[in-house]
Amino acid sequence: MDHFGADMASQPNGFGPRWALCIQPVLGLLLGLVWVSITPRPPAIRIAGFWYAETDQGFGAETDAWFGVLGASAGLLVGLFLWAVANRPKPLRRLAWWLLGAFGGSGLIWLTGLVVTGSLGLATPPDGETVPVVPLTITSPGVLLAWPALAMTTCALLGALRALFRKP
């Protein structure tokens, strides 16, 4: 019997490294596309024939906020899933793989936003002139930790509550 009270021989050995390293990056790519579609980018302005991005209007904070919301949402979902399968064999090894996948998924949100908006090249504003598109990026690297941190925190807190309310 493991520390959760389940018979290890009767538990399937699923949801390990393959799931952690396949599902979370796919989720990261999808959330990266969502991040690109919902995050406003700063407008480009023309001064003396050169294009400049207007970045002092809080666009960096809004970009980071949306990234944090998407990463935290993914972290909450992954944390709930991990808690649900935590009574399987080798829970620490399983959690380590899922944590690695969470870091990868979070990085892929950022990379997807950077690559997709960077490859757009030029946009056409209402006046008909083409202007460069400002690539979407984050200004605070700490938001990359939202997904892995919330996934592990959710799993740990729910595991503690499970242990606290377990009947002897």
Residue boundaries of the structural domains of the chain: 29-164
| Mean residue pLDDT across the chain | 77
Other CB atoms within a 10 A radius of the CB of residue 139 amount to: 12
Q: What's the pLDDT score for residue 28? A: 92
Q: Give the integer Cα–Cα distance in Å for 73 and 29.
A: 14
Give the DSSP H or E segment for 158: helix 146-164
Q: What's the pLDDT score for residue 3? A: 44
Q: What's the pLDDT score for residue 121? A: 56
Give residue-wise pLDDT tens across range 79-131: 888 887 766 666 677 778 888 889 999 999 999 988 887 766 555 555 556 56
Q: In the Cβ-directed half-sphere of 74, how many Cα atoms lie within 13 Å?
A: 35
Cα–Cα–Cα angle for 26, 31, 33, rounded to 5 degrees: 100
Banded pLDDT at 9 (limits 50, 70, 90): very low
Q: What's the pLDDT score for residue 125? A: 56
Contact indicator for 127, 47 with CB cutoff of 8 Å:
no
Residue that wins the pLDDT comparison between 126 and 72: 72
Q: What's the pLDDT score for residue 74? A: 93
- The average pLDDT across 13-36 equals 82
- The average pLDDT across 52-62 equals 68
